[in-house]
Amino acid sequence: MQDTPKLGLPGMQAVTLPMLGEALRRAWSDMRRAPLYGLFFASAYVLIGWLLAAVTWGTGQSYWLIFAAVSFPLIGPFAAVGLYEVSRRLERGRPLVLSEILTVVLHQSRRQLPSICAIVIFLFLFWFFLAHMIFALFLGLSTMTNVSSSYEVFLTVNGMTMLLVGSIIGAGFALLLYMITVISLPLLLDREVDFVTAMIVSFTTVTLNPVPMLVWAVFIAVTTFVALLPGFLGLFVTLPLLGHATWHLYDQIQTGEVSFSPHAPAEG
């Protein structure tokens, strides 16, 4: 039986660096207590990564990567909710029943989570549009070449400028996505609030706690990148760890005091 989400917003206290370490410690404990659930939810990411890599390699058509960018935001929040629910049940001493956990995940399709998925996908598609514009701006007049095999084009002045500009803009989009989702996703599972309010709370939490929240963002980015290198296999460890840790970070900073309007986290 799933819990009924609480009404209203919780109070949010200041985030500290020790909270990040505590979230990771609790996440590692959850992974050891319920390893199969982490493997189950991470397998969706790994299988899609393998499939799209195989199709891209076999056809030589890099546009398949666009489908990857759309697919991951679609399944990501739902997989994360599954991990949040596992951590919540372990914390409350409730039994882990796969059918009940999947019911909680599926129930999110009738709540506010699909709206956040739509926002994420829109931002991803807009980023792809900008990326094509940046490529055309800096390399559109270059001699025709296969950029997937002729890497020297990136060593030209235009090529390096394109990589620099694209990296800066891409990092900006990644930071925006992080700011609106890092707290809003566990908040939407825990509370019955609208997705706009949840994104505002998440964005405000990051802006009022810039140092620990940016450290957390860098940790997520680095560990995820490293996890992709060994054929996506590192995701079997990284994704459950980050999913459980995100729930525990949220759980530490929310005070339980209910407010019915968005408000800023308390400053430490």
pLDDT at 116 over 90: no
Is position 90 within any domain? yes
pLDDT in tens, 142-152: 554 555 555 66
DSSP-assigned states of every residue in 223-266: HHHHHHTTTTTTHHHHHHHHHHHHHHHHHHHEEEEEESS--PPP
Question: Is residue 153 very low, low, confident or very high in pLDDT (cuts 50, 70, 90)?
Answer: low
Residue 54 binned pLDDT confidence (cut-offs 50, 70, 90): confident
On whether residue 26 sits in a domain, the answer given is: yes
- Give the whole-angstrom CA distance, residue 247 versus residue 251: 6
Is the model's pTM score more than 0.85?
Answer: no
Domain housing 95: 13-140+150-259
Sign of CA dihedral 169, 69, 179, 25: negative
Section 115-143 average pLDDT? 77
Better pLDDT: 150 or 236? 236
Q: Closest Cα to residue 182, out of 63, 76, 64?
A: 76
* Average confidence score pLDDT of the chain: 81
**Is the residue at 38 inside a domain?**
yes
Cα separation, 46 vs 239, in Å, equals 10
Helices 113-139 and 64-92 cross at an angle (nearest 10°) of: 150
Counted domains in the chain:
1
Q: Which residue type is seen at 207?
A: T
Model pLDDT, residue 244:
94
pLDDT in the model for residue 28: 96
Q: Is residue 71 part of a domain?
A: yes
pLDDT of amino acid 133: 84
CA distance 131 to 264: 34
Instruction: Compute the distance between CA of residue 265 and CA of residue 213 in angstroms, rounded to an integer.
Output: 13
3 inside domain: no
C-alpha–C-alpha distance, residues 123 and 184, integer Å: 16
Amino acid type, 126? F
In a domain, 145, yes or no: no
Predicted confidence at residue 64, as pLDDT, reads: 54
Nearest Cα residue to 41 out of 246, 177, 237: 237
Q: In 3D, which of 4, 9, 2, 6 has the Cα closest to residue 200? A: 9
Task: Give the pLDDT score at 143.
Answer: 55
The pLDDT assigned to 49 comes to 76
Contacts of 114 (CB under 8 A, 6+ apart): 108
pLDDT at 61: 59
Q: Classify residue 187: in a domain, yes or no.
A: yes
Per-residue pLDDT tens digits for 74-115: 566 777 888 999 999 998 888 898 888 888 877 877 778 788
Question: What three-state secondary structure class fits 32?
Answer: helix
Here the tokens at position 210 are: 């810039």
Assess if residue 268 is contained within a domain: no
